[in-house]
Amino acid sequence: MDTPLAVRARGITKCFGDVVALDGIDLDVAQGQIHGLVGPNGAGKTTLLGLLLGLAVADSGTLEILGTPVGRALTGPDAVAGFVDGPGLYPSLTAKQNLAALAVLRGGDAKTARIDDVLDEVGLTDVGDDRVRGFSLGMRQRLGLAAALLTKPRLLVLDEPSNGLDPAGKQHVHRVLTRLADDGTSVVLSSHRMDDLEALCSEVTIVATGRVVFSGPLSKLATENQELDYRIRTSDSEAARRLAADVAGIRVVDGQDTEVLVVSAPVPALDELVARLVQAGVAVRELAPVVSPLEAAFLALTEQQESNQ
């Protein structure tokens, strides 16, 4: 049985005057999935996120969120939350006061809202009584996430949630999003941080000039991106270089380092090289793409799309 969809978009088009922001966008997001949205500046990501949050209405196409058709702005399901272009916060209020005000605006009661719970969830309990004007960018991002979690949303839409986060803060947010997905919440997030997307997302959609150029699992993206540069650190780089030269499909990019060999290869050829290294008794201490598969595919697909305009 197919997994139910939290988001189903077909042929979504959105224009601002003569500017076509979205041009026939299709998007499927399964329930309980963290779905990444990737694209260069001006690709239409923010516009698409705004449609999911009910901040705008598409000019044409169909959009269903949590099984409900969305016909016009601000009429989508209540179980959707998030932010675009950064969270909107009152700088003169404390973190707790911001969350209380938001709870009231949503028709709730500040006294019964989950304010302490969501602050603890995003790691801001110690600064709950501090004014937001003194918060760093990363703290503001986490407070925005806390605000989105007040209503226990079934669909969470986040625009660059890792902006300004230090490594500890990023890991904390990753754990929160992973737990939410495990509990059945769907998450759509945009980011320019490819490492974040690769760590979190099971599927990604790449957009360029308002069109989808790829949508699917990260594994499929890596397969379709036929050739990458890889760093191989071994116990004998000279032997590794000789073996690499004998494997069909392997091109040595740089082998001057005493420990590191850089080769360009598709995955099957790389697998063959690793097998030969092991058979020859050469220890493989590190094997990693110079540029991640997602970043390489992103650059290739978006450049191809732009060149076709």
H/E stretch holding 223 reads helix 218-224
Residue 13, CB half-sphere, CA atoms under 13 Å: how many? Answer: 11
Q: Give the list of residues 6+ apart from residue 176 with CB closer than 8 angstroms, or none.
A: 121, 122, 145
H/E stretch holding 34 reads strand 34-38
Per the rule left: phi > 0, alpha: psi between -120 and 50, beta: everything else, 42 is left
Domains in the chain with CATH codes: 5-217 (3.40.50.300), 225-307 (3.30.70.250)
Residue 286, CB half-sphere, CA atoms under 13 Å: how many? Answer: 12
pLDDT of res. 182:
93
pLDDT of res. 1:
44
Q: Give the list of residues 6+ apart from residue 22 with CB closer than 8 angstroms, or none.
A: 12, 13, 14, 44, 47, 48, 51, 58, 210
Query: In angstroms, rounded to a whole number, what is the distance separating the alpha carbons of residues 223 and 214?
Result: 12
pTM above 0.95, yes or no: no
Query: In angstroms, rounded to a whole number, what is the distance separating the alpha carbons of residues 297 and 295?
Result: 5
- Note down pLDDT in tens along the chain; length 309 residues: 467 899 999 999 999 999 999 999 999 999 999 999 988 888 899 999 999 988 888 999 999 998 888 865 444 456 898 988 888 889 999 999 999 998 888 777 666 678 999 999 999 999 999 999 999 998 999 999 999 998 889 999 999 888 888 888 888 889 999 999 999 999 999 988 888 888 889 899 999 889 998 888 877 765 555 677 888 999 888 899 899 999 998 988 875 656 788 898 888 899 999 999 999 999 999 998 887 767 777 777 666 555 555
Average pLDDT, the chain: 86
pLDDT of res. 303:
66
Structure-token pair, residue 139: 């703290």
Decide: 249 and 266 in contact? Cβ < 8 Å.
yes
pLDDT of res. 308:
55
pLDDT of res. 74:
46
pLDDT of res. 257:
56
Structure-token pair, residue 128: 């709950």
CB atoms within 10 A of CB 110: 14
Structure-token pair, residue 204: 């990604």
Tell me how many degrees the CA angle 180-185-186 measures, rounded to the nearest 5.
Answer: 115
Query: In angstroms, rounded to a whole number, what is the distance separating the alpha carbons of residues 38 and 30?
Result: 17
